[in-house]
């Protein structure tokens, strides 16, 4: 099966730099992959599109060297099966609060005996290769989002679930769950301490840990802490930021 570059980066102790696609555009997906991101994540939770466009967005990403990932909209067995069958090499699942949520997620992602994924890999087979069934459980990445205080409280139970590779931190929803407005400083109130606690639990347990970063200061701080995956904002944030700085320069 085609190797998962994100697993190779763990062995090399190098962070994966992940792009985040919120637009329904194969062109933008392809451009982000061509830019050299290690992975591009199609965001089905907040992206402006539905399930039907996932195969074509994954085709665009997989015309580049970037690993095609999807954040599913919810912890749904049927949707996760379909997304993997469309050729995703990893799933980021929002709002995992406890062991049962994590078990349900893994059940959808892994073939038996580890899980209960149904067989019909469709485009996954084309992208992955003819030994897809034998190698998929060890190749595809499963990341549970911790983004509530309940998830933080249950982090060790969640990390205990066999077949789960690790955690992806959602700082905005985590802030809301702590009574803090989203989109502010990652270090606001107890938010920074909580994020560092999640990272510490994952690293102590030798589990994968990634995070969505609202700005470059946060991305650099997370890189210093040795996280496995850094997402420096979504596609629209990248466009806005570069457009804003070019405009400001020419208006000087």
Q: Which residues are catalytic?
A: 46
173 binds Mg ion (CB under 5 A): yes
235 binds ligand 3PY (CB under 6 A): no
Span from 2-10, 145-153, 182-190, 241-249 in contact with Mg ion (CB under 5 A): 145-153
Span from 106-114, 134-142, 165-173, 239-247 in contact with ligand 3PY (CB under 6 A): 165-173
89 and 141 Cβ atoms separated by less than 8 Å:
yes
**CB-based closest residue to ligand 3PY:** 170
186 binds ligand 3PY (CB under 6 A): no
Sign, CA dihedral 127-129-133-137, equals: negative
97 binds ligand 3PY (CB under 6 A): no
128 vs 95: CA distance, rounded Å? 28
- Choosing among ligand 3PY, Mg ion, none, which partner's interface includes residue 132 (Cβ < 5 to 8 Å by kind)? none
Span from 9-17, 122-130, 149-157, 166-174 in contact with ligand 3PY (CB under 6 A): 166-174
121 binds ligand 3PY (CB under 6 A): no
79 binds Mg ion (CB under 5 A): no
According to DSSP, the residues that pair with 168 across neighbouring strands are: 145, 210
Cβ neighbors of 57 (< 8 A, separation 6 or more) are 21, 24, 26, 29, 42, 49
Span from 1-9, 162-170, 175-183, 219-227 in contact with Mg ion (CB under 5 A): 162-170
Rounded to whole angstroms, what are the CA distances from 53 to 78, 100, 114, 216?
16, 30, 29, 30
CB of 46 to Mg ion, least distance (A): 8
Of 190-249, binders to Mg ion (CB under 5 A) are: none
- Choosing among ligand 3PY, Mg ion, none, which partner's interface includes residue 171 (Cβ < 5 to 8 Å by kind)? ligand 3PY
Rounded to whole angstroms, what are the CA distances from 205 to 43, 130, 142, 151?
27, 33, 16, 16
147 binds Mg ion (CB under 5 A): yes
Task: Choose, by CB under 5 A, the member of 47, 170, 210, 214 that binds Mg ion.
Answer: 170
196 vs 173: CA distance, rounded Å? 16
228 vs 165: CA distance, rounded Å? 11
Please state, as a whole number, how many other Cβ atoms lie within 10 Å of the Cβ of residue 244: 10
Q: Which of 65, 12, 62 is nearest to 42 (CA)?
A: 62
CB of 147 to Mg ion, least distance (A): 5
Q: Which residues bind ligand 3PY (CB under 6 A)?
A: 147, 170-173, 212
């Amino acid at each position: 099966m085609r190797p998962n570059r994100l697993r190779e980066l763990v062995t090399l102790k190098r962070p994966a730099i992940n792009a985040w696609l919120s637009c329904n555009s194969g062109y933008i997906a392809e451009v982000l992959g061509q830019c050299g991101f290690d992975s591009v994540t199609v965001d089905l939770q907040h992206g402006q599109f539905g399930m039907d466009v996932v195969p074509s967005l994954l085709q665009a990403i997989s015309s580049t060297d970037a690993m095609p990932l999807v954040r599913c909209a919810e912890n749904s067995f049927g949707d996760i099966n379909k997304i993997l069958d469309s050729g995703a090499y990893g799933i980021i699942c929002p709002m995992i609060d406890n062991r049962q949520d994590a078990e349900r997620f893994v059940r959808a992602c892994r073939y038996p005996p580890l899980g209960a994924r149904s067989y019909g890999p469709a485009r996954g087979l084309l992208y992955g290769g003819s030994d897809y069934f034998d190698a998929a459980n060890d190749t595809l990445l499963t990341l549970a989002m911790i983004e509530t205080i309940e998830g933080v409280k249950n982090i060790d139970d969640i990390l205990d679930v066999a077949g789960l590779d690790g955690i992806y931190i959602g700082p905005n929803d985590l802030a809301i769950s702590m009574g803090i407005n989203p989109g502010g400083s990652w270090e606001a109130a107890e938010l920074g301490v909580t994020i560092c606690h999640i990272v510490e639990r994952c690293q102590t347990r030798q589990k994968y840990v990634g995070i969505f970063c609202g700005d470059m200061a946060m991305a650099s701080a997370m890189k210093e802490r040795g996280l496995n995956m850094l997402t420096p904002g979504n596609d629209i944030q990248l466009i806005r930021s570069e457009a804003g700085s070019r405009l400001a320069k020419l208006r000087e």
